[in-house]
Amino acid sequence: MLDQLDPSERMRLVQFVCSFAWADLEIQPEERVFISRLIQRLELDEDEDLQVQQWLDRPPSPDDLDPTSIPAAHRRFFVEAIEGLIEADGEISEEEGESFAIFKQLLAD
């Protein structure tokens, strides 16, 4: 499924996932593990991995995150990856839940 994404779309996916990890202003260890596994599954290179580590130190800029720019054919991948992240620590914070609901609504429009 993820092999349908080109390299820029893979990075964009991880960028969105990292932004959701920051939704409650704290990245949990389980979320870091989830993102690490996602990086492996996406076969990101060293430079891409370095960028992801920067997003884990500081959230991606909201200006770079427009859910409506995600191609319709890939939206399911983004929703499933983000859903996996927010469920990774066994708790869905209010901020995560609200952000995810808005995200899905924007994709549906």
Q: Residue 27 and residue 32: Cα distance in Å, rounded? A: 7
pTM summary value:
0.91
pLDDT score for 109: 67
Mean pLDDT in order along the chain per 10 residues (109 residues)? 85 96 92 96 94 96 92 93 93 89 89
pLDDT score for 22: 93
Cα–Cα distances (Å) from 85 to 13, 25, 47, 109, in that order, read 12, 14, 22, 23
- Domains of the chain from N-terminus onward: 2-108 (1.10.3680.10)
Nearest residue to 80 (alpha-carbon basis) of 28, 21, 17: 17
pLDDT score for 1: 67
pLDDT score for 91: 85
